[in-house]
Structure 1
Amino acid sequence: MAIVKDNLLLQSVEGTLGNQFTIYKRNGQIIIAKKRGPSKNKPTKKQLEARYKMRVAAAYAKVIIQDPDIKAYYKSLAGPGQNAYNMAVKDAYKSPEIQNIQFEDETVVVTAKEEFRVAEVEVRVHDAAGVMLERGKAVLGRNGVDWYYKAAGLPAGGKVVVVAVDLPGNGTVREIRVE
């Protein structure tokens, strides 16, 4: 790949030359790259999973940017050469990350991050036998990263299951034992 600077001949040229080079513009720059063709190798399982995930993300983006408020949100996050659709695809492709779960008396504090935003965090409390005692939505703290859930009780030997969900609906589940 080569980036062309100040070449009058290539200012208005785009496309493929001689089945060898492709010339295109990105972010106002002219780029010359070797022409790529389809791979002759069979796709791996990971590649097929990535393709499927990308199809789902693209379908989400196509539908969600019809909402003017959400489109404006994604547009505000777009950088040079990007648009709301690109940001929506990127958001749908990744799931939120649960970084930490702590207990402060009867309060469960969950640190959940995502490049865009975590839409909600649900907390489920189970006893030692695995029976769910309670479940509910956590409340976002002032710092925008920590989520707080006030439990009725945290049984010794039980577990707390946390589910963080982002705007596209991708969820991440993490559980921790109560000591």
Structure 2
Amino acid sequence: MAISKNNPIVDGASGRFGNNLVFRKRGNRTVMAVRPSVSERVPTEDQMTQRFLFMEASFYAKSVLENPVLKAAYQAKAKEGQSAYNVAFKDYLTAPILHKLDWSKYTGELGSTLTGRITDVLAVTTVKMSLFDVNDVLIEEGLAVQSELKLDWVYTATVAHTPVVGTRILVQMTDTPGNVYVEEVVIV
């Protein structure tokens, strides 16, 4: 791959050149690369699943470009050489990350809290926490509230129970594209 700098002949060029080269625009640069080859192998089921996932991500990213508010939000997250489309595409394919779940203030009493530090490419829109006892019986579940710093999500207990040790917590996170991801944490 070669990047053209100050070459008026190829500046702004895109498409195929001969049988071996392809010109592409990436941001404000013109990139020259070897023409991609097309495999004649039959794709595996995993490859087909991945292609379908990429197709969904592409549709999502295109829909973002039609929404001025979302487009501006994704463009603000874009690094040099990236577009809102690129960031939206990545957001669709990237799960939110539960960095830690702080249960130090959770005592099993009404009003005690669980705090999850969760990040995503753009934003996490909702966090639902479900608590199960050691016998896997649902104790309670509900939505967490985002903190003022927009980094932590705080769930406040609405049901009292003991013992706290062994409580299984399912953290269900929904990101901007609407994908739902679940992490499980057990209080030790």
- TM-score band, normalised by the shorter chain? 0.7 to 0.9
Larger CA deviation: 167-176 vs 39-48: 39-48
Looking at structure 1, the residues matched to 62 and 13 of structure 2 have their Cα atoms a distance apart, in angstroms, of 30
Structure 2 segments unaligned to the other structure (5+ residues): 107-111
Looking at structure 2, the residues matched to 67 and 166 of structure 1 have their Cα atoms a distance apart, in angstroms, of 17
SS state at 1:56 partner: helix
Do the aligned partners of 2:123 and 2:176 also contact (CA within 8 Å) in 1?
A: yes
| TM-score for the superposition, normalised by structure 2 | 0.81
Does residue 167 in structure 1 map to residue 176 in structure 2?
yes
Check 1:75–1:29 CA distance in 2 against 1; reply closer, same or farther (3 A cut): closer
Query: Match for 2:92: what amino acid?
Result: A
Looking at structure 2, the residues matched to 45 and 21 of structure 1 have their Cα atoms a distance apart, in angstroms, of 31
Q: Deviations over 1:88-130 (max 9, x none)?
A: 2221111101121121133111111112111111111112222
SS state at 2:114 partner: strand
- TM-superposed CA distance for 1:154, in Å, is 4.9
| TM-score for the superposition, normalised by structure 1 | 0.84
Does residue 59 in structure 1 map to residue 55 in structure 2?
no
- TM-superposed CA distance for 1:4, in Å, is 2.7
Do the aligned partners of 2:12 and 2:30 also contact (CA within 8 Å) in 1?
A: no
Looking at structure 2, the residues matched to 11 and 48 of structure 1 have their Cα atoms a distance apart, in angstroms, of 36
Structure 1 segments unaligned to the other structure (5+ residues): none
Check 1:13–1:57 CA distance in 2 against 1; reply closer, same or farther (3 A cut): closer
Check 1:8–1:112 CA distance in 2 against 1; reply closer, same or farther (3 A cut): closer
Equivalent residue runs for 1:77-88 within 5 Å: 77-88=77-88
Task: Report the number of matched residues.
Answer: 179
Looking at structure 2, the residues matched to 13 and 149 of structure 1 have their Cα atoms a distance apart, in angstroms, of 54
2:156 maps to which residue? Answer: 150
Looking at structure 1, the residues matched to 113 and 23 of structure 2 have their Cα atoms a distance apart, in angstroms, of 58
Query: Match for 2:50: what amino acid?
Result: A
1:102 maps to which residue? Answer: 102
Check 1:14–1:125 CA distance in 2 against 1; reply closer, same or farther (3 A cut): closer
1:29 maps to which residue? Answer: 29
SS state at 2:160 partner: coil
Root-mean-square deviation (Å): 2.3
Do the aligned partners of 2:60 and 2:177 also contact (CA within 8 Å) in 1?
A: yes
- TM-superposed CA distance for 1:140, in Å, is 1.4
Structure 1 residue ranges (4+ consecutive) displaced by more than 4 angstroms after TM superposition: none
Do the aligned partners of 2:13 and 2:25 also contact (CA within 8 Å) in 1?
A: no
Check 1:176–1:27 CA distance in 2 against 1; reply closer, same or farther (3 A cut): closer
Query: Match for 2:24: what amino acid?
Result: Y
Does residue 138 in structure 1 map to residue 144 in structure 2?
yes
